[in-house]
Amino acid sequence: MTLEYFKHKYGYEIEGMWMPRVTAITALVSRSFFIGSFASVDWGVAVHSAIEKILKGEKYIADQKIAPSLQAFEKWRKAQGVKITNPTGDIEAKVYDFENGYAGTIDMVAEVQGKRGVVDLKTGNGMRDEYSLQTAAYLNAYNKGVQKKFHADTRWILRIDQYEECKGCLAKKKEKSGKERVLGGNSWCNHQWSHPVGEAEFLELEGQKEDLEAFLAAKEVWEWYHRSFLRKVANYPKNITQKVLI
Protein backbone atom coordinates (compact mmCIF):
# COMPACT_ATOMS: atom_id res chain seq x y z
CA MET A 1 0.00 0.00 0.00
CA THR A 2 1.34 3.43 -0.91
CA LEU A 3 1.09 6.36 1.49
CA GLU A 4 -1.35 8.13 -0.85
CA TYR A 5 -3.59 5.07 -0.95
CA PHE A 6 -3.45 4.76 2.83
CA LYS A 7 -4.50 8.39 3.25
CA HIS A 8 -7.34 8.01 0.77
CA LYS A 9 -8.58 4.73 2.21
CA TYR A 10 -8.65 5.71 5.88
CA GLY A 11 -9.29 9.42 6.06
CA TYR A 12 -9.56 12.82 4.48
CA GLU A 13 -8.04 16.24 4.54
CA ILE A 14 -9.85 19.12 6.17
CA GLU A 15 -8.32 22.58 6.46
CA GLY A 16 -4.93 21.27 5.49
CA MET A 17 -4.92 18.46 8.05
CA TRP A 18 -5.23 14.77 7.32
CA MET A 19 -7.46 12.94 9.79
CA PRO A 20 -8.71 9.36 9.89
CA ARG A 21 -12.42 8.68 9.50
CA VAL A 22 -14.44 7.60 12.53
CA THR A 23 -15.60 4.46 10.71
CA ALA A 24 -12.02 3.49 9.80
CA ILE A 25 -11.23 3.46 13.50
CA THR A 26 -14.36 1.65 14.68
CA ALA A 27 -13.97 -0.99 11.97
CA LEU A 28 -11.02 -2.25 13.95
CA VAL A 29 -13.26 -3.21 16.88
CA SER A 30 -16.36 -4.27 14.96
CA ARG A 31 -17.56 -7.83 14.80
CA SER A 32 -17.55 -7.72 11.02
CA PHE A 33 -13.79 -7.19 11.19
CA PHE A 34 -13.54 -10.67 12.71
CA ILE A 35 -16.42 -12.71 11.30
CA GLY A 36 -17.68 -10.96 8.19
CA SER A 37 -20.94 -9.10 7.83
CA PHE A 38 -24.24 -9.49 6.04
CA ALA A 39 -24.57 -5.74 5.57
CA SER A 40 -24.40 -4.80 1.93
CA VAL A 41 -22.41 -1.68 1.05
CA ASP A 42 -24.37 -0.95 -2.17
CA TRP A 43 -27.66 -1.28 -0.36
CA GLY A 44 -26.54 1.06 2.41
CA VAL A 45 -25.35 3.66 -0.08
CA ALA A 46 -28.64 3.53 -2.02
CA VAL A 47 -30.79 3.98 1.12
CA HIS A 48 -28.52 6.72 2.51
CA SER A 49 -28.49 8.79 -0.65
CA ALA A 50 -32.28 8.49 -1.15
CA ILE A 51 -32.92 9.60 2.45
CA GLU A 52 -30.48 12.48 2.09
CA LYS A 53 -32.45 13.68 -0.92
CA ILE A 54 -35.79 13.27 0.85
CA LEU A 55 -34.54 15.35 3.79
CA LYS A 56 -33.14 18.08 1.57
CA GLY A 57 -36.35 18.14 -0.46
CA GLU A 58 -34.49 17.26 -3.66
CA LYS A 59 -36.00 15.28 -6.50
CA TYR A 60 -34.92 11.70 -6.86
CA ILE A 61 -35.96 8.50 -8.51
CA ALA A 62 -35.84 5.74 -5.95
CA ASP A 63 -35.00 2.21 -6.88
CA GLN A 64 -38.19 0.19 -6.30
CA LYS A 65 -36.17 -2.38 -4.39
CA ILE A 66 -35.58 0.04 -1.51
CA ALA A 67 -39.10 1.56 -1.53
CA PRO A 68 -40.28 -0.32 1.62
CA SER A 69 -37.25 1.03 3.51
CA LEU A 70 -38.01 4.59 2.42
CA GLN A 71 -41.65 4.19 3.44
CA ALA A 72 -40.51 3.02 6.88
CA PHE A 73 -38.29 6.09 7.10
CA GLU A 74 -41.14 8.48 6.19
CA LYS A 75 -43.41 6.82 8.70
CA TRP A 76 -40.78 7.19 11.43
CA ARG A 77 -40.20 10.83 10.52
CA LYS A 78 -43.89 11.69 10.78
CA ALA A 79 -44.55 9.66 13.93
CA GLN A 80 -41.62 11.25 15.81
CA GLY A 81 -42.15 14.79 14.51
CA VAL A 82 -38.55 15.00 13.34
CA LYS A 83 -37.25 18.53 12.71
CA ILE A 84 -34.01 19.54 11.05
CA THR A 85 -33.41 23.20 11.76
CA ASN A 86 -30.43 23.74 9.48
CA PRO A 87 -30.60 21.30 6.52
CA THR A 88 -27.40 22.56 4.84
CA GLY A 89 -25.30 22.13 7.97
CA ASP A 90 -27.09 19.24 9.64
CA ILE A 91 -27.54 16.69 6.84
CA GLU A 92 -24.47 14.74 5.72
CA ALA A 93 -22.41 17.02 7.93
CA LYS A 94 -18.64 16.69 7.92
CA VAL A 95 -17.30 17.08 11.42
CA TYR A 96 -13.87 16.84 12.95
CA ASP A 97 -12.07 16.99 16.24
CA PHE A 98 -8.68 18.48 15.56
CA GLU A 99 -7.44 17.98 19.12
CA ASN A 100 -8.06 14.24 19.04
CA GLY A 101 -7.30 14.00 15.34
CA TYR A 102 -10.29 12.36 13.68
CA ALA A 103 -13.10 13.30 11.29
CA GLY A 104 -16.41 11.89 10.13
CA THR A 105 -19.70 12.46 8.35
CA ILE A 106 -22.93 12.62 10.35
CA ASP A 107 -26.09 11.46 8.58
CA MET A 108 -28.21 14.08 10.32
CA VAL A 109 -28.57 16.21 13.40
CA ALA A 110 -32.25 16.42 14.24
CA GLU A 111 -34.73 17.47 16.85
CA VAL A 112 -36.80 14.55 17.98
CA GLN A 113 -39.39 14.91 20.75
CA GLY A 114 -37.78 18.07 22.09
CA LYS A 115 -34.20 16.75 22.13
CA ARG A 116 -31.45 17.64 19.73
CA GLY A 117 -29.18 14.83 18.71
CA VAL A 118 -26.99 13.08 16.19
CA VAL A 119 -28.87 10.45 14.18
CA ASP A 120 -26.86 7.69 12.58
CA LEU A 121 -28.67 5.73 9.93
CA LYS A 122 -28.05 1.98 9.66
CA THR A 123 -29.30 -0.50 7.12
CA GLY A 124 -27.76 -3.66 8.55
CA ASN A 125 -29.13 -6.43 10.68
CA GLY A 126 -29.58 -5.41 14.30
CA MET A 127 -27.69 -3.19 16.68
CA ARG A 128 -23.96 -3.44 17.20
CA ASP A 129 -21.70 -2.27 20.01
CA GLU A 130 -19.49 -0.36 17.62
CA TYR A 131 -22.37 2.07 16.94
CA SER A 132 -21.92 3.40 20.47
CA LEU A 133 -18.30 4.27 19.70
CA GLN A 134 -19.10 5.78 16.33
CA THR A 135 -21.91 8.02 17.50
CA ALA A 136 -19.98 9.12 20.61
CA ALA A 137 -17.20 10.29 18.30
CA TYR A 138 -19.69 12.13 16.05
CA LEU A 139 -21.49 13.86 18.90
CA ASN A 140 -18.20 15.02 20.41
CA ALA A 141 -16.85 16.33 17.09
CA TYR A 142 -20.14 18.02 16.18
CA ASN A 143 -20.30 19.93 19.46
CA LYS A 144 -16.70 21.05 19.05
CA GLY A 145 -17.56 22.64 15.73
CA VAL A 146 -20.71 24.57 16.67
CA GLN A 147 -21.61 27.32 19.12
CA LYS A 148 -22.81 26.17 22.51
CA LYS A 149 -26.45 27.12 21.84
CA PHE A 150 -26.51 24.68 18.91
CA HIS A 151 -24.99 21.79 20.84
CA ALA A 152 -26.56 18.38 20.43
CA ASP A 153 -27.47 16.55 23.64
CA THR A 154 -27.78 12.98 22.58
CA ARG A 155 -27.31 10.40 19.85
CA TRP A 156 -29.58 7.88 18.26
CA ILE A 157 -29.37 4.97 15.91
CA LEU A 158 -32.08 4.80 13.29
CA ARG A 159 -32.08 1.35 11.80
CA ILE A 160 -34.07 0.97 8.61
CA ASP A 161 -34.57 -2.48 7.23
CA GLN A 162 -37.01 -4.47 5.14
CA TYR A 163 -38.04 -8.09 4.86
CA GLU A 164 -40.56 -10.51 3.45
CA GLU A 165 -42.52 -12.60 5.92
CA CYS A 166 -43.69 -16.17 5.48
CA LYS A 167 -47.49 -16.32 5.74
CA GLY A 168 -47.23 -19.80 7.29
CA CYS A 169 -44.37 -19.85 9.80
CA LEU A 170 -43.55 -16.10 10.11
CA ALA A 171 -39.94 -16.60 9.05
CA LYS A 172 -38.36 -13.41 7.75
CA LYS A 173 -36.43 -13.22 4.52
CA LYS A 174 -34.01 -10.41 3.91
CA GLU A 175 -32.63 -9.86 0.48
CA LYS A 176 -30.08 -7.19 -0.30
CA SER A 177 -28.09 -6.73 -3.47
CA GLY A 178 -28.43 -10.38 -4.41
CA LYS A 179 -27.64 -11.77 -0.96
CA GLU A 180 -30.42 -13.62 0.81
CA ARG A 181 -30.92 -14.65 4.41
CA VAL A 182 -33.83 -16.36 6.16
CA LEU A 183 -34.32 -15.74 9.89
CA GLY A 184 -36.55 -17.65 12.30
CA GLY A 185 -39.59 -19.74 11.33
CA ASN A 186 -39.58 -23.45 10.61
CA SER A 187 -36.92 -24.89 8.37
CA TRP A 188 -39.34 -27.56 7.01
CA CYS A 189 -41.99 -24.98 6.00
CA ASN A 190 -42.64 -24.43 2.31
CA HIS A 191 -42.41 -20.65 2.76
CA GLN A 192 -44.99 -18.37 1.16
CA TRP A 193 -43.45 -14.92 1.13
CA SER A 194 -45.36 -11.66 1.54
CA HIS A 195 -44.48 -8.44 -0.27
CA PRO A 196 -41.46 -6.77 1.30
CA VAL A 197 -42.28 -4.54 4.28
CA GLY A 198 -40.08 -1.91 5.85
CA GLU A 199 -39.29 -1.46 9.52
CA ALA A 200 -37.66 1.32 11.50
CA GLU A 201 -35.98 0.91 14.86
CA PHE A 202 -34.99 4.04 16.75
CA LEU A 203 -32.72 3.76 19.75
CA GLU A 204 -31.15 6.39 22.00
CA LEU A 205 -27.68 5.54 23.22
CA GLU A 206 -26.63 6.39 26.75
CA GLY A 207 -23.21 6.70 28.33
CA GLN A 208 -21.61 9.29 26.03
CA LYS A 209 -18.63 9.85 28.33
CA GLU A 210 -17.56 6.24 28.63
CA ASP A 211 -18.25 5.56 24.96
CA LEU A 212 -16.10 8.49 23.90
CA GLU A 213 -13.29 7.27 26.16
CA ALA A 214 -13.56 3.84 24.55
CA PHE A 215 -13.52 5.38 21.08
CA LEU A 216 -10.36 7.34 21.87
CA ALA A 217 -8.77 4.19 23.28
CA ALA A 218 -9.73 2.35 20.07
CA LYS A 219 -8.11 5.18 18.16
CA GLU A 220 -4.86 4.64 20.07
CA VAL A 221 -4.92 1.00 19.02
CA TRP A 222 -5.72 2.02 15.44
CA GLU A 223 -2.76 4.42 15.46
CA TRP A 224 -0.48 1.71 16.78
CA TYR A 225 -1.72 -0.68 14.10
CA HIS A 226 -0.93 1.82 11.33
CA ARG A 227 2.08 3.42 13.01
CA SER A 228 4.49 2.96 10.12
CA PHE A 229 2.20 4.89 7.76
CA LEU A 230 1.12 7.50 10.26
CA ARG A 231 4.68 8.55 11.01
CA LYS A 232 4.99 9.56 7.37
CA VAL A 233 1.81 11.67 7.23
CA ALA A 234 3.25 15.16 7.62
CA ASN A 235 -0.11 16.86 8.21
CA TYR A 236 -1.42 14.39 10.79
CA PRO A 237 -2.40 16.54 13.80
CA LYS A 238 -0.49 14.42 16.33
CA ASN A 239 2.74 14.63 14.34
CA ILE A 240 2.47 18.39 14.27
CA THR A 241 1.63 18.76 17.96
CA GLN A 242 4.54 16.54 18.91
CA LYS A 243 6.94 18.55 16.78
CA VAL A 244 5.82 21.73 18.52
CA LEU A 245 6.36 20.11 21.93
CA ILE A 246 9.91 19.06 21.05
Give the 3-state secondary structure of residue 166: strand
**Is there binding between residue 126 and Zn ion (CB under 5 A)?**
no
Using alpha carbons only, give the angle 149, 152, 153 rounded to the nearest 5 degrees.
110
**Beta bridge partners of residue 119, listed in sequence order:** 108, 156
Among 128, 173, 176, 191, binds Zn ion (CB under 5 A): 191
**Candidate ranges 20-28, 63-71, 162-170, 176-184; the one touching Zn ion (CB under 5 A):** 162-170
* Residue 164 · residue 138 · CB < 8 Å: no
| Minimum distance, C-beta of residue 166 to Zn ion, in the bound complex (Å) | 3
Whole-angstrom distance, CA of residue 55 vs CA of residue 57: 5
Whole-number minimum distance, CB 168 to Zn ion, in Å?
4
Give the end-to-end CA distance of the chain in Å, rounded to a whole number: 30
Of the candidate spans 43-51, 74-82, 88-96, 186-194, the one that interacts with Zn ion by CB under 5 A turns out to be 186-194
Q: How far is the CB of 91 from Zn ion (least distance, A)?
A: 40
User: Rule CB under 5 A: which of 88-117 touch Zn ion?
Assistant: none
Among 189, 199, 226, 229, binds Zn ion (CB under 5 A): 189
Which of residues 152, 166, 212, 216 is near Zn ion by CB under 5 A? 166
Site for Zn ion (CB under 5 A): which residue of 81, 87, 126, 168?
168
E-strand ranges in 102-205 read 102-112, 115-122, 154-165, 172-176, 179-183, 197-205
The reply to whether 182 sits near Zn ion by the rule CB under 5 A is no
Burial-class residue 108 by CB neighbours within 10 Å (0-12, 13-18, 19+).
buried
**169 contributes a contact to Zn ion by CB under 5 A:** yes
How crowded is residue 52: how many other Cβ atoms within 10 Å of its Cβ? 16
Q: Which stretch binds Zn ion (CB under 5 A): 4-12, 38-46, 61-69, 158-166?
A: 158-166
What is the SS3 assignment for 177? coil
User: Which residues contribute to the site for Zn ion (CB under 5 A)?
Assistant: 166, 168-169, 171, 185, 189, 191
